Amino acid sequence: MLKFENVSKIYAGGKRAVDHINLDIKKGEFVCFIGPSGCGKTTTMKMINRLIKPSEGQIFVDGKNVMESNVVELRRSIGYVIQQIGLFPHMTIRENIALVPKLLKWPQSKRNARAEELLKLVNMPPEFLDRYPHELSGGQQQRIGVLRALAAEPPLILMDEPFGALDPITRDSLQAELKNLQKTLGKTIVFVTHDMDEAIKLADRIVIMREGKIVQQGSPDDILLHPADEFVENFIGKDRLLQAQQSIQTVGEIMVKNPVSFKTTGKLADAIQLMRKRRVDSLLIVDDNNVLKGLLNVEAIERGKDLDAEVSALMNKEFKTVHEDTLIRDATRKFLTLGLKYVPVVDGQNRLAGLLTRTNLVDVIYDSIWGLKEQAETSQELQETR
């Protein structure tokens, strides 16, 4: 899909911002470039769509040298998302999303249909299409920026620190949405970030750069378990390396399986009886396909007057979830940031898979911190006895 052959960027005075990069990126792969400021990660990415021209070497997209492509056609065929979002304030959301399709002379009906289709992917209602950027929150605007990059169905998308200016809660939500979109649509994404946690969460492959060179590349697990040198170790951080040494990595490995659930068509009286029997203060409400639809808690029950009413009329439809493959580190951050007591675990089709509780996380934290300490103390005692 994307190939760098001995690519360099040399500025005045002979400074090499990028120094002999060789890299192959497969179709459908999510690759994160990361490194300290000035390492060349953004320059490397911008050479792909010729916002910066390479001084040496060649870059191929789908087998074609980018320097031999028409620059306008090249940029229109590659999605591009930046931190500043760059929505046009005088255009509606519909017009912003459909900008590139309009330049490509798609008919109006096709542009409208594409905008509506994309908005559904990020769970935004269709009435947003006729609003203007200033009427949206920062997170909503950034969602539209991502959708605009997807609008003309490009096979390749470049993203330059797109979530860096957002608050932690919004950033976490958008990261999850982006990863789901990438899996669903099969796009190739080149993503520049300075946040190692973001790279670990999103990437199929991480490319770590320093002074214009690639220091190490590999899957998040490869990077965490086998850092190439002291620079990589320090850049990753000791806490991440310690956690990577633990056998438990994802939510699916520690979640409570077969949590107490109840059907959307069930009656309130039956829900209360089940809660008493199982001694729980809330129920996870699912449909016939086990898709999670809402939560029923004590507060909702207190508002219910009709015991024959279906729980779907009382359940809370606004709730947080995590996926089975979410890293423990990311789940812990969500718990701490949002002050949650528990969170439902879902699979890729939003079907209920389990329940993650504070107790689950505390046990893992004890094992990863004090467990390691105990191992070290035991090892030291054995050495002293020898």
CA of residue 320 relative to chain centroid, distance: 15
Residue 106 shares a structural domain with residue 207: yes
**CATH number for the domain harbouring residue 117:** 3.40.50.300
Q: Does the structure show a pLDDT above 80 at 278?
A: yes
Average pLDDT (71-78) is: 90
Give the lowest-confidence range in 4-18, 84-98, 256-270, 361-375: 361-375
CATH code of residue 339: 3.10.580.10
pLDDT tens-digit readout, 287-320: 999 999 988 887 777 776 678 888 888 888 888 8
Indicate whether 30 pLDDT > 70. Answer: yes
Per-residue pLDDT tens digits for 210-254 = 999 999 999 988 888 888 888 988 888 877 776 665 555 788 888
Q: In this structure, what are the phi and psi dihedrals at residue 30, rounded to the nearest 5 degrees?
A: -105, 110
Alpha helix (H) residue ranges in 122-267: 138-150, 168-185, 196-202, 220-225, 230-236, 238-244
Residue 367 inside a domain? The answer is: no
Contacts of residue 381, defined as CB under 8 A and 6 or more positions apart, other chains included, come to none
Tell me, yes or no, whether 44 lies in a domain.
yes
Whether 381 maps to a domain, the answer reads no
Rg of the chain over all Cα atoms, to the nearest angstrom? 24
Residue type (1 letter), 151: A
| Strand 261-263, strand 256-257: pairing | unpaired
Mean pLDDT, the chain, integer: 84
CA angle 94, 100, 105 (to 5 degrees): 100
DSSP 67: G
**pLDDT tens, 148-159?**
888 888 889 999
Report which of 53, 55, 50 is spatially closest to residue 16, judged by C-alpha positions: 55
Pair (152, 239) in one structural domain: yes
Number of structural domains in the chain: 2
The whole-number pLDDT of residue 375 equals: 44
Note down the domain range covering 47: 2-244
State whether 17 and 155 are in the same domain.
yes
Pair 152, 234 in one domain: yes
CB 149 within 8 Å of CB 157: yes
180 and 301 together in one domain = no
Token pair belonging to 290: 């086990």
- pLDDT-based confidence at 378, cuts 50/70/90? very low
In this predicted structure, what is the pLDDT of residue 31?
95
Percent of the chain with pLDDT over 70: 91
Shared-domain flag, residues 78 and 145: yes
